[in-house]
Amino acid sequence: MADGDATGLLNAALDAVRAGDPAGEAMLAGLRRRLPGWDEVPLRQAEMYRGRGEAARAIAGYEAVLELQPRRVEALLSLGALVLVRGEVHRAQSLFLQCCGIAPDLPEAWDALGSTLVLTGDHGAAESAFAQAQTLAPDNIGFAVHRSEAAFQAGGGAEEVARLECALERDPANAAVLTALAQGLERVGRRDEAIDYLMLAAALAPDHAIPHASLAQCLVRANRVAEALGALDRAIALAPDDLTLRNNRAASLIRLHRHREARDELRVLIADHGEHGGLLNNLSNALVSLGEQDEGAALAARAVAAEPRSTLAWRTLCNALPYCEGIGGGELLAAALGGAEVLPRGEPPVWRMTADPERALRVGLLSPTLKTHPTGWLTIAGLENLDPRRFSLHAVGPEHGADPIFRRFRMVAASWTGLDGLGMEAQVARIRGLELDVLIDLGGYGDQGLLPLCAHRLAPVQVKWVGSQNHSTGLAEMDWFVSDRWETPAENARFYAERLMVMPDGYVCYSPPPYAPDVAPLPALGTGGVTFGCFNNLAKITRGTVAAWAGILAAVPGSRLVVKCHQMADAGTRAGFVAQFAALGIDPARVQPRGGSPHRALLGEYGDIDIVLDPFPYSGGLTTCEALWMGVPVVTMPGEIFAARHSASHLGNVGLGEWVAADVAAYQALAVAWAGDLAGLAALRAGLRERMRGSPLCDGPRFGANFGAALRMAWRDWCGGRAMAHAA
């Protein structure tokens, strides 16, 4: 009898049994006598459906098998896996538990049970289940890693590391133990050792993807991204269908500024696998970085629509929108509020510190980039000049070795607290344990930014300053937003969820690099033609910006434009950028894209530039400060959002408000007019560094005093509010 005939008879018998028809049992008995091996038919059929991705039919098939053979292990495991994917965690757990009782020597059953226990939050029981799986299969890397992760989640991280170190002494060539130990070591801040162990595990298990994938993740977190890419390639070769590995590879390409490669790979992945959230978010980042801002923001919006509770999707959208033309303060605030709403929050803390408005304050600095980075250049001088009798600074984030700006932070900080290897709850507990009075976020939603932790309320007073400070955070828990009168005119206050901490001068204090070259003579005097320039990220250069620049080039005969950023290291990106100007009638020879370079060399290249053209709507920040320090004035056109007004703030702070244009026509006219006044440009250039040095923008003591007064005001406000609450 053919399988199809047997299946038909079997289904008829099962239907009769389900309907309560006594004839059903007789039909089943008859099948048993007539068809040797008949009971394998429904199992084979269910497996066929599962292999074809027909989950509903496969589930029905396995259920039919279990009606006939309730102790059939293969059916229990497969059905459990399918219903788990469907979100039926408790049902899957029951199926896996049955399987463990029937086949206690089957490690896969214990591992599957452990996975459901993790999902239900019973990490201690999960660790026990994974331990049983590992005992039965001591060389299985996946089981070892699962056990270690559960132990950490159960709060026994230190004990787990100790256990694994003892296990490694007994079996030093066990790749499973090495991999699990390495992951544990990274969790407790011993990343260099973790990398060494993972390299050894990968060598001992060259055909297993997990050590290579874990090594890649560890190297990325150590900012050794080029090495990580090689490990990812090996992992993908071993697990070519692993979408997470492929997506991680694209993310690594983005970190390496290989945006076009990342974009192309992600488009292929989406075409093959559909619009998964992680793929959409990474593609959005790649597109924005390539100057394709609108498409990038649209993809981020699709990711939000597909997963409206995804913090990553909202974070990507909030990072993309400020680069898009036509985005107003209200729209950006709405996105920030949406992203803030989905952030996890625990129980609010009970503060025990004294509400004394005049006592010395403990001020936290929360950031992954307290180093040579825009965050460092724009904050360290002000922080160095806070009165140490009134404020003690406590940094929270990674340390950065020999980095010179990091060393300045290290000198000014009374303590330094790392968060490596900790989950969110442990990070929150560690920061609250510092008993800070004021917490300043200096990272935002940028790469590795820690702003989401602020949703847990880490200190009585929380302040947003620098570090992806493109607009309001949207966080109800963020009390203050550092600004100035240029960044946030009074009429724009409605676009912020926070109260504005308006500084009397600018909102930052710039530290000029000690290695900056001297200001070069005006290049136009030697070349006979004006050279415009922009050294901002390509993400800031929109189609509208290009059109405005093309109009300026057309109006100034013999002029040229130098655009320098890391994206221009790619030949295809350079060609595409120049083609935009060619389409607008500008000779490609007049547009010179340049790739990135070391910082001192980059500053030196301002010697080739007569006038900087600020991009819009996202203006330059640190780049504007650097241009001014190198003697090059900046034409800017501020908009409504915070990111659109950085240059206006810096120019106003230096006393160059006449370089701020009201609209595109005025922006173009201003650039053209100054291009015709070489004598005026030369005079301005010759004195600009000294002018800047004497301005509030570079006055650390003045900024420190003002910033200290602002922090004191915020603290007094909290003390007053607390006193009123107690009185009520």
Considering the chain, tell me which residue range(s) the CATH 3.40.50.2000 domain(s) occupy.
524-698
Instruction: Return the CATH fold of 361-503.
Output: Rossmann fold (3.40.50)
> Which residues are bridge partners to 5 per DSSP?
none
**Structure-token pair, residue 274:** 């559909």
Question: Angle at which helices 209-221 and 225-238 pack, to 10 degrees?
Answer: 160
| Residues 593-641: tens digit of each pLDDT | 999 999 999 999 999 999 999 999 999 999 999 999 999 999 999 999 9
| Coil, strand or helix at 59 | helix
Do 130 and 111 meet the contact criterion of CB atoms below 8 Å apart? yes
Q: CA angle 616-296-569, nearest 5°?
A: 70
For residue 409, give Cα distances in angstroms to 227, 375, 417, 725. Answer: 29, 11, 13, 37
Every domain of the chain with CATH number 3.40.50.11380 lies at 361-503
pTM (2 decimals)?
Answer: 0.87
What lies within 8 Å, CB to CB, of 485 at 6+ separation is 502, 652
CA-wise closest residue to 619 among 469, 489, 513: 469
- What is the distance between the alpha carbons of residues 555 and 586, in angstroms, rounded to a whole number? 11
Percent of the chain scoring above 90 in pLDDT: 84
Token couple for 13:
């018998």
Q: CA-CA distance, 615 to 374, in Å (whole number)?
A: 17
pLDDT value at position 728? 46
Bridge pairing between strands 413-417 and 391-396 = parallel
CATH topology of domain 524-698: Rossmann fold (3.40.50)
Residue segments in the chain with a per-residue pLDDT below the cut of 70 = 1-11, 13-20, 24-41, 722-728
Interval 511-558: pLDDT, tens: 999 999 999 999 999 998 999 999 999 999 999 999 999 999 999 999
pLDDT of residue 43: 82
Q: What is the DSSP letter of 325?
A: T
Quote the pLDDT of residue 84. 92
Cβ pair 486, 653 in contact under 8 A:
yes
What distance in Å separates the CA atoms of residue 450 and residue 435, rounded to the nearest whole number?
Answer: 18
Given this model, what pLDDT does residue 489 score? 97
Which residues fall within 8 angstroms of residue 538, CB to CB, at 6 or more apart? 289, 290, 291, 563, 565, 567, 568, 573, 577
Asked whether 129 and 149 are in contact (CB, 8 A), the reply is no
Give the C-alpha separation, 272 to 413, whole Å. Answer: 50
CA neighbor of 595 nearest in space, from 322, 323, 298, 257: 257
Contact 457, 480 (CB under 8 A): no
Would residue 53 be called left, alpha or beta, if left means φ above 0 and alpha means ψ between -120 and 50 degrees?
left
What integer pLDDT is reported at residue 553 of this predicted model?
A: 98
Q: Check residue 726 and give its pLDDT.
A: 45
Give long-range contacts, CB 8 A cutoff, 24+ apart: 154-163: 154/123, 154/124, 154/126, 154/127, 155/123, 156/127, 157/184, 157/187, 157/188, 158/188, 160/184, 161/185, 161/188
